[in-house]
Amino acid sequence: MKNVLITGGAGFIGSHVVRLFVNKYPEYNIVNLDALTYAGNLDNLTDIEKKSNYTFVKGNICDANFLQELFAKYDFTYVIHLAAESHVDRSISNPIEFVMTNVVGTVNLLNAAKHQWLKVGSQQSADSSQQTANRFYHVSTDEVYGALGETGFFTEETKYDPHSPYSASKASSDHFVRAYHDTYGLPIVISNCSNNYGSHHFPEKLIPLAINNICNNKPVPVYGKGENVRDWLWVNDHARAIDVILHNGKNGDTYNIGGHNEWKNIDLIKLLCKIMDKKLNRSNGESEKLISFVKDRAGHDLRYAIDSTKLKNELGWMPSLQFEEGLEKTVDWYLNNQQWLDNVTSGNYAKYYDEQYVKR
Ligand code: NAD
Ligand code: DAU
């Protein structure tokens, strides 16, 4: 049985990756390491939590000693690293937490993997064609590339140009992962993905926030004029891409993952309002009245768009779902899981929500 460590498995994307791996690979023992911050929620995993090839460990990647003990105990074959502070707005109000988890936490994990796999001092060749039994997979973001104008796409060769504290911390962690490959020969792979959407998405992010607010007849905050463009990918397609890259990607390589699915925020919100009118039996146009233009995000990147040709040509991955269908499925999930929403919008989170989204 191979032990596979997935960090951040109680979060949005991590829970989909854990579910996919637990169900698809009975021969893997999946260890989900998560600190259960405000974004971590074990309710995301109730359908697989009793499976015999799944173990949850509560712990913080900022604790280096704990990580070394965990690696010694399980001798992981693969690490899929998703644990992170992930929300851009929070990084603007509290950058240091992003440095601690995203940079220091990632370096702690790299050290633990290096210690376990390379047995201190026995430096391997950094030849990128060398395949080894182990693999450290770092899940990263397209935001490290900065912002695009009206045209063009991010490729794997695009220079890093992060603008927010969040993207700067992710860029830094990407550099550390590559440095451990180049310096110590640690077997690694990195992917940079565009915006995900789907079930179990924490309602501080645009789509679940808007769904929740429309349901509750609250204003839907659109930053600036809503002109910013994001490239949306169904979260299950991201999880599929991670599976393919972990097993078949080239040691030391980077893969871009994206949906070829660009939407201006305002157009996306209008589409969502139409779907919500239909689902909630409201008259056409009723939900759109909730749209409320608010002060823009500081340093707001204008446009992201991913070129995922490399992933398609080398590993045969493609998105499986049209956006309109995926968005409707997502809305259905939230409407059918009101209890999940109520649980995460109560308590501390509600306090943050009220402070953040007062109309400006
Ligand atoms: P999320 O915020 O929903 O989940 C993050 C998880 O990490 C939570 O379960 C949280 O408890 C855990 N965590 C946070 N700090 C931790 C720590 N110090 N130790 C252990 N666990 C900790 O995030 P997400 O949206 O699922 O993103 C997951 C990863 O994918 C992140 O690395 C993010 O940068 C990357 N990513 C996200 C998107 C997106 O659209 N959401 C797109 C591309 C890449
Ligand atoms: O591109 C990948 C990134 O996508 C991930 O790395 C991040 O972890 C993830 O949070 C996401 O970042 P964004 O900042 O693009 O996502 P968010 O949902 O916060 O915002 C999407 C767009 O909507 C963005 O242009 C800001 C805008 N927005 C967001 C919120 C929360 C609004 O207009 N109103 C809002 O209330």
CA of 289 to the centre of ligand 1 (A): 32
Mark whether 143 is an active-site residue: yes
Q: Which CATH architecture has domain 2-197+233-260+304-321+348-359?
A: 3-Layer(aba) Sandwich (3.40)
| Ligand 2 atom with least separation from CA of 229 | 25
- Helices marked H in the chain: 12-24, 64-74, 88-93, 95-98, 106-118, 165-184, 206-215, 235-248, 265-279, 309-315, 323-336, 338-345, 348-356
- Residue 77 CB less than 6 A away from ligand 1: no
What is the DSSP track for 337-351? -HHHHHHHHSTHHHH
Residue whose pair of structure tokens reads 């074959």 in the numeric block: 77
- The domains of the chain are located at 2-197+233-260+304-321+348-359
Question: Is 36 a pocket residue for ligand 1 (Cβ < 6 Å)?
Answer: yes
203 lines ligand 1 (CB under 6 A): no
**Cα 318 to the chain's mean position, in Å?**
18
| Ligand 2 atom nearest 297 alpha carbon | 26
Q: What are phi and psi of 128, to 5 degrees?
A: -70, -10
- Is the CB–ligand 1 distance for residue 8 below 6 Å? yes
Ligand 2 binding pocket includes 223 (Cβ within 6 Å):
yes
- Strand, helix or coil at 199? coil
Q: Is 88's C-beta closer than 6 angstroms to any atom of ligand 2?
A: yes
Given the residues 74, 166, 197, 304, the one annotated as active site: 166
Q: Please spell the DSSP secondary structure of 215-245, one letter per residue.
A: HTT--EEEETTS--EEEEEEHHHHHHHHHHH
Give 199: exposed, middle or buried? Use CB within 10 Å, 0-12, 13-18, 19+: buried
Ligand 2 centroid to residue 207 C-alpha, Å: 9
Residue ranges for the chain with pLDDT beneath 50: 120-123, 125-131, 351-354, 356-360
Dihedral sign for Cα atoms in the order 217, 295, 259, 209: negative
Pocket probe mutation, ligand 1, options 37, 81, 86, max atoms within 8 Å of Cβ: 86
pLDDT of residue 129: 39
Tell me what pLDDT residue 348 has. Answer: 52
Q: Is 74 a catalytic residue?
A: no
**Does 142 participate in catalysis according to the annotation?**
yes
With the most atoms of ligand 2 within 8 angstroms of its CB, the residue from 265, 273, 300, 330 to mutate is 265
CB-ligand 2 contact for 240 (6 Å cutoff): no
pTM for the predicted model, two decimal places: 0.95
pLDDT at 346: 80
**Count, residues in the chain:** 360
What is the number of the ligand 1 atom nearest to the C-alpha of 61? 19
A 10 A CB-CB count for 235 gives 22
